Structure 1
Amino acid sequence: MALDTGMKCIKYLLFIFNLLFVISGCVLIIVGAVIEANYRTYLDFISSSYLSAPSILIAVGVLIFVVGFFGCCGAVKENHCMVVTFVVLLFMIFIVQLGVGIASYILSNDVERFLHENMLKSMRNYDRSRPGVIKTWDVIQHDHACCGTNNYEDWTSTPYGEEYNGVPDACCKEHVSGCGRNIFNFSQKLNDINKEGCFDKLKGDVEENVTILGGIAIGIGFVQLIGIAFACCLAKSLKRQYETV
């Protein structure tokens, strides 16, 4: 079955579009697998729900790969059924991504409250039985030169603070083993730690990332509309030629 010149151009453009789609799906699968394998403990910081992020990433990658496969095969083989299947699946992904983008903007106002509540909650889990929480708080407090959620005094109401009458060593300006212990008994030792809380230093980054996520989801969604338009044109041309055969 021969296509006219215009449809041939659309066919090849659709093939290239879907080839990139398949590659991006593979990248998402690989990235999700790496995060799942190497950073599972680290993801336990704010909420256990974050542990589902790598799995969702892998699932999205697989879905994109399958949709891209249908698009590539449909374009190359000039198969009307596969092209239509591609259009339907891609449109469903577009709706989901558009929903994610809109939800990200709507829920961005709740991010600050959510982050604050869960940071305070995770501080109470700072103990040897939860190495992921310890690692995350140590990295954040050291890298951001901060201590606690609101300030260093948050540690007084945690099991760690009550046991050692102090703060984690990562709060210290100069990291020395045991430097954060018993600081609440000696006011002069307070000069050796960072007193500012980590919440103010993290919330801006988190809110910015949520906004970027929403923008990317919506942006990619509208790019997908181009693929849908190409596929619809090709499917219509293929249907017309099937009817004339």
Structure 2
Amino acid sequence: MSCGISMVKYILFIFNLLCSICGILLIVFGALLFSKVRNMDDFAEALRTQQVPVTMIILGTIILLISWFGCCGAIRESYCMSMTYSILLFVLMIGQLALVIYMWVQKDKYLEIMGDVVEKAWNHRTSRSDYMDAIQISMKCCGRSGYTDYAYQGKFPPSCCSDTNNCRWETVYRRGCKVTFVEFWDRNSDIIKYAGLVIAAIEFVGFVFACCLANSIRNYRRRAEY
């Protein structure tokens, strides 16, 4: 092979290492988002509707596997593996862009569902207080609209304070859980969208390089047969 194509091969190998890192980051970030509400049954309903954290974990795993496949194709100079890798990468890029566009269009609906999660947890706190406690501990908030929601009780639940053994007015969280929970998902949805666009752009570059490498491998083998 020519010096230029050999350089493409190693660039593609390095690119796949970067993609592997991106895949690992997606898995970690998706797991962190999911862990925030893993103990809440009411969140399962929202998760089935939007499935963002689970999708991120699955997508990160797919990127990691495809990147490994691309590394092998580049190092072994296999036309079949390189071409298969480029096709899979293209399909992955299209699916990722579709997910980003979907999140962009449905953002208001997504945030509304997140707000409903807190409403349901608050309305069912008499029978299942652990739902509301899970939100208050993880988000460091108190009550649906604020700590004054517990004024009628004369005391605050331990989950409303950083010191659960001594929860009093001076140490209680001031912010309400609904606005805190919605803002959390609002911030992270933007991170997900822009990260998805950046990764899709990187994948497109990798797709072009993989096609060039596969074409070069095929031409090189044809010339070698004569």
Shorter-normalised TM range: 0.7 to 0.9
Matched ranges for 1:149-160 at <5 A: 149=145, 152-153=148-149
SS at match of 1:147: coil
Structure 1 residues 56 and 224: CA distance shift in structure 2, 3 A: same
What TM-score do the two structures reach when normalised by structure 2? Answer: 0.76
Find out whether 1:168 has 2:166 as its counterpart: no
Alignment equivalent of 2:189, drawn from 204, 210, 213: 210
Per-residue deviation at 1:62?
Answer: 3.1
Gaps of 5+ in 2: none
Give the corresponding residue for 2:180. Answer: 201
Structure 1 residues 209 and 41: CA distance shift in structure 2, 3 A: closer
Per-residue deviation at 1:152?
Answer: 4.3
Alignment equivalent of 2:40, drawn from 22, 35, 44: 44
Alignment equivalent of 1:18, drawn from 13, 16, 19: 16
Structure 1 residues 45 and 212: CA distance shift in structure 2, 3 A: farther
Give the corresponding residue for 1:184. Answer: none
Deviates more, 1:41-50 or 1:234-243: 41-50
Find out whether 1:7 has 2:5 as its counterpart: yes
Give the corresponding residue for 2:213. Answer: 234
1:79–1:238 contact (8 Å) kept in structure 2: yes
Matched ranges for 1:1-245 at <5 A: 3-26=1-24, 39=35, 42-44=38-40, 47-48=43-44, 49-50=46-47, 56-126=55-125, 131=130, 133-140=132-139, 143-144=140-141, 146-149=142-145, 152-153=148-149, 168-171=157-160, 197-244=176-223, 245=225
SS at match of 1:47: helix
1:21–1:65 contact (8 Å) kept in structure 2: yes
Give the corresponding residue for 1:188. Answer: none
Gaps of 5+ in 1: 181-190
Q: How many residues align?
A: 221
What TM-score do the two structures reach when normalised by structure 1? Answer: 0.71
SS at match of 1:212: helix
User: CA offsets, 1:13-59, max 9 Å, x none?
Assistant: 001111232344456557777888xx487452751154966654443
Which is greater in Rg?
1
Structure 1 residues 134 and 210: CA distance shift in structure 2, 3 A: same
